[in-house]
Structure 1
Amino acid sequence: MHNPSLMCTHEVIRLGRGGVVSRSQVNSPPYDRMTAGLSINGFMYYGASVPNQIYTETPTPVFVCFDVRYERVLSFITTPKEVLVRQGLTVLIEYKGKLAVIVPNCGRCSSFHRFNLWILEDVTKHEWSKQTFELPLSLPFTFAGARTISQGTNKAGEIIFYPTTLTGRAQPFYVFYYNPVTKNMRKVRIHGIADTEEFWNRYGLTGVCCASFSPQHVDSIAFYNVFLCVRA
């Protein structure tokens, strides 16, 4: 995206039969993207900030809604400031078919045991709902170090939390499943994820290792994928 004339230009790339690539451009009012995107039912959402007409004022936080089928920016969704308060650390999830954001209540602490779940109830009216949940145990959350985030839910409706980095060399890797209805949490150890010296030596892992957890919305955790990358 670029904005040479105070406009954002989006390039849409389509793969056709025989590997043929076609491209088109879509323009929209200017904005600065803040988060990764999430696709739900043919629409792509991502957090952004829109500059105000008075440049001394703080930019307005919004969610950009891009209609993938018709290749257009459908709307800028007005968003409560708390939803995007962590900017690039904000993680979008799909919750019961709707866009949602988990905001940990940790302040200046290094962990959290309470979080707010913001749900976009009406895309057209820009209506959000807020629910607050208290966890049975605290999860780490720091800006520069260990963080526990969520990438979504499973078919049972449990919110899945996982650490973004490995807890240490050859240490157990745990994933947490929180049920917002029963308020119960399960702590599940995933065996074979860098929890032995043999694993670290085999792949030459050193330093801080980042983990990315991808729920596939199936009942068995055996079908979940965990991807590791090494950060120097």
Structure 2
Amino acid sequence: MTVGLSINGFIYYAASVPNQTPPVFVCFDVRYERILSFITTPKEVLVWKVYTSLIEYKGKLDVLVPTNCLRTGSSFDRFDLWILEDVTKHEWSRQSFQLSLSLPFAFRRSQRMISQGTNKAGEIIFSPTSLPGPAQPFYVFYFNTDTKSTRRVRIHGVADTEEFWSRHGLTGMCCASFSPQHHDSIAFL
């Protein structure tokens, strides 16, 4: 039901059996190559299923759920962060946040803004799932849960010119993926 997320040697992902019990999170122990547990979740956690984002936040599994997409269908400015407090006891807590601006959210994957995780400063990162189109700027948004502030960062050189699109033969929709902890060093040069 979701993309898996690796945290400290365990992979977490949502799974379900059609027309059976409610969805659960599976905790897979990579070192011993076995399922450690099936974690029950509050029904609100997987209400969006593929529209939810699994992230690591402060060393714990968190599920980010946009809260007002059903009403608007095209953007969201609020989200719930469901935190798995205890893996063995299946205890969850919830924090609700209000963004200072609305982020695009469409039911079509090509027009969606999702969370890719957090950076080392603890900010939640939101990025588009696809490039915006020829000669349009590419933005990544950072939300600080402590100060409740959102900052927008334009990434220059990411398909923001017609020349880039034609040089690389890009046409139509192009998926974008973002790695929140990646950084380059001149040592690689």
TM-score (norm 1): 0.75
State the secondary structure of the residue aligned to 1:119: strand
* Aligned partners of 2:28 and 2:37 also within 8 Å: yes
Rounded to whole Å, the distance in 2 between the matches of 1:205 and 1:79 is: 41
Q: Which residue of 1 aligns with 2:52?
A: 90
Partner Cα separation in structure 2 for residue 216 and residue 47 of structure 1: 23
Q: 1:50 Cα shift?
A: 4.1
CA distance, structure 2, for counterparts of residue 128 and residue 216 of structure 1: 25
Question: Given the alignment, which residue of 111, 117, 127 partners 2:91?
Answer: 127
Task: Give how far 1:183 is off.
Answer: 0.7
Distance (Å, rounded) in 1 between the aligned partners of 2:153 and 2:119: 14
Residues 61 and 80 of structure 1 are in contact (CA less than 8 Å); yes or no, is this contact kept in structure 2?
no
Point out which structure has higher relative CO (alpha carbons under 8 A, 6+ apart): 2
Provide the residue aligned with 2:21 in structure 1. 59
Distance 2:152 2:55 in 1: 20
Q: Does 1:138 align with 2:105?
A: no
Q: Does residue 216 of structure 1 match 2:178?
A: no
- Report how many aligned residue pairs link the two structures: 182
SS of 1:114 mapped into structure 2: strand
Instruction: Report what 1:175 is aligned to.
Output: 140
How far residue 59 of structure 1 moved from its aligned partner, in angstroms, is 3.1
Aligned partners of 2:131, 2:76: CA distance in 1, in Å?
A: 18
Identity of aligned residues (%): 75
Query: Contact 2:5 / 2:12 at 8 angstroms: preserved in 1?
Result: yes
The question of whether the paired residues in 1 share the 8 Å contact of 2:60 and 2:83 is answered with yes
Kept in 1: contact 2:120–2:181 (CA 8 A): no
Q: Greater share of strand residues, 1 or 2?
A: 1
Q: Secondary structure at the match of 1:125?
A: coil
Deviation at 1:169, TM superposition (A): 1.4
User: Counterpart amino acid of 1:114?
Assistant: R
In structure 2, distance between residues paired with 1:206 and 1:72: 43
* Structure 1: gaps (5+ residues): 1-33, 224-232
Distance in 2, matches of 1:104 and 1:146, equals 15
CA contact (8 A) 1:50 1:62 kept: no
Aligned residues of 2:24 and 2:38 also touching (Cα < 8 A): yes
Aligned to 2:78: 114
Q: What value does the CA root-mean-square deviation take over the aligned residues?
A: 1.6
Distance 1:217 1:82 in 2: 31
How far is the alpha carbon of 1:217 from its aligned partner?
A: 6.1
- Is contact 2:52-2:66 (8 Å) kept? no
CA contact 2:113–2:126 (8 Å) conserved in 1: yes
AA at the equivalent of 2:160: D
Q: Which amino acid in the other structure matches residue 143 of structure 2?
A: Y
User: How far is the alpha carbon of 1:70 from its aligned partner?
Assistant: 1.3
1:163 to 128, 153, 176: 128
Q: Which has the larger radius of gyration?
A: 1
Which residue is equivalent to 2:113?
148
CA distance in 2, matches of 1:181, 1:68: 33
CA distance in 2, matches of 1:91, 1:159: 11
Q: Distance in 1 between matches of 2:11 and 2:121?
A: 24
**Tell me, what secondary structure is at the counterpart of 2:84?**
strand
The structure 2 residue matched to 1:200, chosen from 159, 165, 169, is 165
